[in-house]
A and B are shown apart, each in its own frame.
Chain A
Amino acid sequence: MKQERISIKGWIGICSLILALLIPFLVRINTYILTVLIIMFVFIIYASAWNLLTVSGQGSLGHAAFFGIGGYVSAIVANSLGLPLGATILLGGLFAAVIGLFIGFTCIRLREWFLAMVTFGFAVIAHTITAELSWITGGWDGIPAKKLISVTIPNYLLYEYYVMLVLTVAVLSIFYLILKSKMGLALEAIRENELEAKVMGINVAKYKLTAFAISAYFTGVAGALQIHHFGYITPEIYGVDISFWPIIYCISGGLFTIEGPILGTIFITFLDASLKSFGFTYERLILIGLILILEVIFLPRGLVSLPAKIKSWLKVS
């Protein structure tokens, strides 16, 4: 029985991968759609990274800080040292991971509320510090960043799409392996009951810190990818909404699972993009805020849990 369900999930995964590979040929190539899809891939990486930290029971409200740090470090290093973007993006992630470790050191002893306050505050403070260090970061105006794929190449967005697809699949495979490994089990045990996990011989501090560092690393990478797609970076990258996005993605898809963040990101991205194309601005953000509230109340396990829920409703009626 269990074997069968895994294979159904596997088939869905393979089909969606094939679909992702073919999409540029199925729909008429359109810069807007491609841009939306590229940003969607970035946010799948970002949401999955945030999800990994949440698996360990540490709900961060300020992941925009790591997103922005990764972006700024990558942009600054690429501009000043002229290193290839492949190296600077990894460097941005590394820097975010180091900062993440420092924040993690403060946070591992804290309960959920304090952790949320510290991370929330950290994003706002990172915003101020970046804006103030204007001789490095360009202040409020920001700085230009190199494009991931040079604009001069014909169909550069198409290349970018496939680069992002490959990266996303690679990062998701890493997260899959982590969640299926001993570490994934340890993180879940810590989330369910930290004291019991400790009694069972799990090194809680080590696993929580590792989760923080890995999560910050991939968040930094996602941030760097995003700004190298747009070609510029400003302190707005630290905004509350950037911290908010992975949370809404993961909750609408399904927390603590590998497929939840992917599903949630795709669902919200399409909702957002279609509302945007109708000319809604703040209305769509209000709607997304409402969706988060309603989902926390009525569907806390996300869209992933919807089939099981419908099944149980049908049984009752």
Chain B
Amino acid sequence: MDISLFAQILVWGLYAGCIYILLAIGLNLIFGVMKVVNFAHGELLMLGAYAAFWLYAYSRLNPYLVLPLAMLLIALLGLSMERLGFRPIMGTGKLNEIFLSLGFMYLFQNLVAYLWSTNSRSVRSPYSSISIPLGAIKLPLDYLIIIIITVVFLIAFQLFMKQTNLGRAMRATSQNREAAALMGVNVERMDMLSFALGSALAASAGGLWLISGQLVDPYVGAIPAIKAFAVIIIGGLGSIPGAIIAGLTLGIAENLVPLLMRFFMELFGISMSFTAWKDTIAFFILIIVLVLRPTGIFGEQGE
């Protein structure tokens, strides 16, 4: 067990964490403004990846360049989901909202399977063979680009929320919907905007996921969605800094824990791989956090 292995895990964790953060922040935004958890958020990631794939396949541009267009397309889709689906049932109970988002999930999965078959898709990034030597480890250039893009998005998002009138109106809506409406904020427009922004962020996560060499099929959204749920529960519903810390922690933990488990089992002379268990870690963290604190670690008030 040497130090470079841990550094390598740190790099993987940072990269995976970025994807989870992008996904979780969108979920958090929608929850903050509308008090709705969109269970089809993982499907927006999947659709974002498909949009990036087809735009790349037709244009043959650098895959990073088609990302903004893919985000725009999915933002429009999210906007229509809000307008046609969630708005008519606002206030009729949380169960209805849960079932509606489940309906969207099922619809999107099967629609994609119908249109483009269930074959896995992948894109080869032009930088896939380049990696930057960092001491004993190698940092793939794609990972670096993804980390930079995520940081840029986070800063832009934060600036938008804090510095612009629109962002302030959104924050006002999420703090107190009635009061914001009385102050002249068009809260329904804020709902649409939050869905569009959240969907665009999910699409960016999907696009980056695809470009970094992951395989994408119509059912790929469920696992990242659970991880994003874990991230927002650990980080507290509605908390952006919480989501960033929790996302990075989850990204690192799910790469580190299987390795530690392997070393632990080797102490008893059993050699066994735990990499397939990676995806279960988010769920166990989720359960443990919810048992200890039903409102999440950074969450102040439970919803």
Instruction: List residues of A whose CB falls within 8 A of some B CB.
Output: 54, 57, 59, 61, 105-106, 109-114, 116-118, 120-122, 124-125, 128-129, 131-132, 240-241, 244, 247-248, 251, 255, 281-283, 285-286, 288-290, 292-293, 296-297, 300
Contact = CB atoms under 8 A, between A and B. Distances in A.
Contacts of B298: none
B166 interface: no
A240 B222 contact: yes
Given A117-B37, A125-B280, A292 B111 contact: no
Interface in B53-99: 85, 88-89, 92, 94-96, 98-99
26 contacts: A59-B99, A61-B98, A61-B102, A113-B303, A116-B98, A117-B229, A120-B229, A121-B286, A124-B223, A124-B226, A124-B279, A125-B280, A132-B277, A247-B99, A283-B114, A286-B114, A289-B103, A289-B110, A289-B111, A292-B99, A292-B102, A293-B100, A293-B107, A296-B89, A296-B96, A300-B89
Contact of A118 (B37, B94, B219, B286): B286
A205 B8 CA distance: 46
A288 B290 contact: no
Contact of B98 (A59, A241, A289): A59
Contacts of A255: 95
B88 A106 contact: no
B39 interface: yes
Contact of A57 (B95, B99, B104, B107): B95
B222 A244 contact: no
Contacts of A116: 37, 39, 98
Nearest to B296: A114
A251 B226 contact: no
Interface of B: 37, 39, 85, 88-89, 92, 94-96, 98-100, 102-107, 109-111, 113-114, 219, 222-223, 226, 229-230, 233, 276-277, 279-280, 282-283, 286-287, 290-291, 294, 302-303
Question: Would you call the interface of chain B mostly helix, strand, loop, or mixed?
Answer: helix
Given A113-B98, A248-B103, A296-B100, 8 more contacts: A59-B99, A116-B39, A117-B286, A124-B223, A132-B277, A247-B99, A292-B99, A292-B102
A223 to B, nearest CB: 20
A117 B226 contact: yes
Nearest to B223: A124
A300 B294 CA distance: 29
Contact of B290 (A59, A61, A106, A132): A106
Given A120-B226, A297-B89, A128 B279 contact: yes
Contacts of A59: 95, 98-99
B106 A128 contact: no
Contacts of A129: 280
